[in-house]
């Protein structure tokens, strides 16, 4: 399909040049600012292997497949193959699991030295790795070994869909029956923010041809799930849900609308940008913008899906503003331009918790500026 990438900030008077400059400044902060970056070089290139680098979760002081794959997507969108290759080389060297039932997946958390904190994967990392690698192949071409991006991406997705066939006792990351992505491979429940139908549409064309129908059905099923599992009034999605969409509270979280869940609005926005409007998911972000507008100047909290606020402050308030800004790509709310302005006026977060907020901030800024493209 033919895609266009408009500058949505133009609706509030921001020029293309101003939007591009803000994206570049945010990228420079995340990767290079001495005080605020969370990218780090790790290994210098040597005969023993390529140079590596990692993205630090500054709240937990580890490197996660979430952040590593996010950093790779940032790098390919900003045409920085040097950074992309360092992040991918770190992932392969320190995070790739080479034996056991999770062989072919990536350890979701490691220390900045590469020592493992966990021996299991988190599927949102694998799907972002695969998409970033396919984008890299299209933008820069395939190289040799681990830098044969296309083959590396196909291998990841082959494990994600067929692990139960490839590895004894292994489990796939997508449920073979309903095509939903699992929270972890052994779990028969899901995380709504893991559902990325816009990626699956591209996987259908770029992954193993035998899995084309699987990915197309996963895209259809995920859009329907996102729309059905969100609250019918507030538009909020839970962090974790059963397959039927019922909320699953875990990890002693105080309420269902918590950090992971913020990404649902961002995902709907990017799906709309790349693939066009889906009525069901558009209504989700419309309701979200309408719900949050009256409290936009208050301190955000952790919320129950019906909108009831807890006493606990939101851990990532900048991320909430960012995704509500991005939601304007798909939303019919009368407050859509207001959210564009609020996000434009919001600075990057500083301090220990800046990693997650600023990752979502950057992706939302990128898509609203017309710079988050399919390669």
Please tell me the distance from the alpha carbon of residue 293 to that of residue 373, in angstroms, as a whole number: 29
Res. 252: pLDDT tops 90 = no
* pLDDT tens track for 314-356: 999 999 999 999 999 999 999 999 999 999 999 999 999 999 9
* pLDDT tens track for 149-187: 999 999 999 999 999 999 999 999 999 999 999 999 999
Catalytic residues: 66, 260
Domain range summary for the chain, segments of one domain joined by + = 1-37+174-375, 39-170
- Would you place residue 253 in the very low, low, confident or very high pLDDT band (cuts 50, 70, 90)? confident
Tokens of 59: 């709240």
Residue 291 has a pLDDT of 98
Of 235, 225, 231, 224, residue with least CA distance to 192: 225
* pLDDT tens track for 299-312: 999 999 999 999 99
Architecture per CATH, 39-170: Alpha/alpha barrel (1.50)
CA torsion sign for 207, 210, 213, 215 is negative
* pLDDT tens track for 72-102: 999 999 999 999 999 999 999 999 999 999 9
Q: Are strands 109-110 and 63-64 parallel, antiparallel or unpaired?
A: antiparallel
Neighbours of 99 (CB within 10 A): 8
- Whether 39-170 and 1-37+174-375 are alike in CATH topology: the answer is yes
* pLDDT tens track for 189-221: 999 999 999 999 999 999 999 999 999 999 999
Architecture per CATH, 1-37+174-375: Alpha/alpha barrel (1.50)
Res. 1: pLDDT tops 80 = no
Please tell me the distance from the alpha carbon of residue 317 to that of residue 175, in angstroms, as a whole number: 32
């Amino acid at each position: 399909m033919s895609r266009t990438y408009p500058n949505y900030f133009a609706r509030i008077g921001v020029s293309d040049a101003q939007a591009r400059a803000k994206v570049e400044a945010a990228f420079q902060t995340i990767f290079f600012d001495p005080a605020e970056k969370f990218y780090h070089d790790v290994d210098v290139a040597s005969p023993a292997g390529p140079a590596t680098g990692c993205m630090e979760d500054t709240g937990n002081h580890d490197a996660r497949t979430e952040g590593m794959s996010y950093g790779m997507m940032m790098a390919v969108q900003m045409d920085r193959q040097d950074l992309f290759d360092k992040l991918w080389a770190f992932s392969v060297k320190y995070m790739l699991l080479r034996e056991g039932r999770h062989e072919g997946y990536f350890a979701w958390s490691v220390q900045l030295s590469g020592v493992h904190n966990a021996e299991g994967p988190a599927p949102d990392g694998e799907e972002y790795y695969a998409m970033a690698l396919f984008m890299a192949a299209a933008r820069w071409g395939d190289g040799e070994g681990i830098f044969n991006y296309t083959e590396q991406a196909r291998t990841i997705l082959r494990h994600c869909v067929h692990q139960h066939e490839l590895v004894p006792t292994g489990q796939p990351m997508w449920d073979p029956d309903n095509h939903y992505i699992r929270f972890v491979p052994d779990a028969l429940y899901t995380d709504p923010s893991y559902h990325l139908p816009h990626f699956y549409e591209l996987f259908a064309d770029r992954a193993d041809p035998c899995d084309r129908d699987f990915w197309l059905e996963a895209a259809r099923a995920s859009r329907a799930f996102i729309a059905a599992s969100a609250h019918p009034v507030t538009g909020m999605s839970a962090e974790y849900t059963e397959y039927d969409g019922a909320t699953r509270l875990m990890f002693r979280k105080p309420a269902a609308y918590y950090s992971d869940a913020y990404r649902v609005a961002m995902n709907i926005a990017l799906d709309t940008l790349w693939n066009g409007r889906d009525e069901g998911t558009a209504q989700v972000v419309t309701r979200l913008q309408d719900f949050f507008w009256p409290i936009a100047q208050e301190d955000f909290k952790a919320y129950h899906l019906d909108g009831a606020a807890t006493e606990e402050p939101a851990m990532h308030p900048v991320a909430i503003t960012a995704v509500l800004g991005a939601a304007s790509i798909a939303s019919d709310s009368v407050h859509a331009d207001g959210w564009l302005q609020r996000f434009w006026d919001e600075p990057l977060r500083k301090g220990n918790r800046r990693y997650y907020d600023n990752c979502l901030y950057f992706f939302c800024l990128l898509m609203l500026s017309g710079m988050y493209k399919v390669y």
